Amino acid sequence: MTMGSGLALLDGYPFEVRYSDGSLTRARVSADVAADAYVYFSHLFSEVEPDIAVIVVNQVDWESKQPYGLPFFNDDVGQIRPGIVVMPAGSGEFWIAMGQELSEASPSEYTTLLATYPDGEGGLNLQPFFDLVTIHELAHAFEVLGDLRLPTFWLGEIFANLALHAFVATKQPESLETLEVLSTVGVQSPSLDARIRAEGYSTLEDLEAHYTGGNDPMSPLNYVWYQYRWQRLAAEVFDADGEDGLVRLWDFFHGTNHLKSGEVTRASLAPLLRTEVSETLGRAVQDWR
């Protein structure tokens, strides 16, 4: 069965919304934030209005090679819409593993996470953070269905994080702490950084080779390490350039291929990004290690 086709339908949004039994509250939260961001992105991005479905599912209805809890966008042929944004309805082993990793790597900072994302019983609840990640996945829908021709996977992730940060900072500034604390703790952990560099993948070239397929795929938690860094980079770019940096990124790559496939490298992209999009972004790509 096509994912989402047998689930309940929630009306009243500019896109289709489907949800698992018992997940109506979470579906409304995801759909509400996605609807606001949908209007915001459409205004910024050439009046694009991607044909999508937002699907909020429990663990039983989860259909993905990714662990339950890691949201994703999918544009495979045969979906209920040309693009689907799939969100978890609640916690699972993946969220628990994220918390455990940071607790072990940054015990002194873990209290900050508990204060920002409390579960009411002394533990960690990352649901508020992942509600905002709906916006990140929605940005991928605009990217893929809106003909944004980003030449690498990692630049697509940076774009989605910049779009997420711009929306929250501009339209929901009261949620900035929820968005930023997790990644701030993640990037400030020397122990986590040292372990990933010793045991996993850390370069942009590594990500391109080992996240999107091929041999020796990276672990989901290794991917999260990249996301922590990209989220902090998005904040830096927004602080330096505001919405203009995001719009310039869209305008420069929208409908246009600037490099031939054999010419796409970090070294070739960095100067383009510095001159055409953002000095901050181009410098960060150039200096990534």
| Structural domain includes residue 140 | no
Whether residue 70 sits in one domain with residue 9: yes
Rounded-to-integer distance, Cα 117 and Cα 213, Å = 33
**How far is residue 152 from each of residues 84, 114, 148, 166, 211, measured CA to CA in Å?**
21, 35, 11, 21, 12
Whether residue 158 sits in one domain with residue 76: no
Whether residue 229 sits in one domain with residue 97: yes
Per-chain mean pLDDT for the chain: 95
Domain housing 223: 92-125+147-289
Whether residue 183 sits in one domain with residue 44: no
Whether residue 168 sits in one domain with residue 82: no
Q: What is the number of structural domains in the chain? A: 2
| Structural domain includes residue 139 | no
Whether residue 260 sits in one domain with residue 213: yes
Whether residue 194 sits in one domain with residue 68: no
Lowest mean pLDDT among 23-37, 71-85, 213-227, 265-279: 213-227
| Structural domain includes residue 138 | no
Reported as a pLDDT band with limits 50, 70 and 90, residue 246 is very high
CB atoms within 10 A of CB 247: 16
Rounded-to-integer distance, Cα 4 and Cα 62, Å = 9
Reported as a pLDDT band with limits 50, 70 and 90, residue 260 is confident
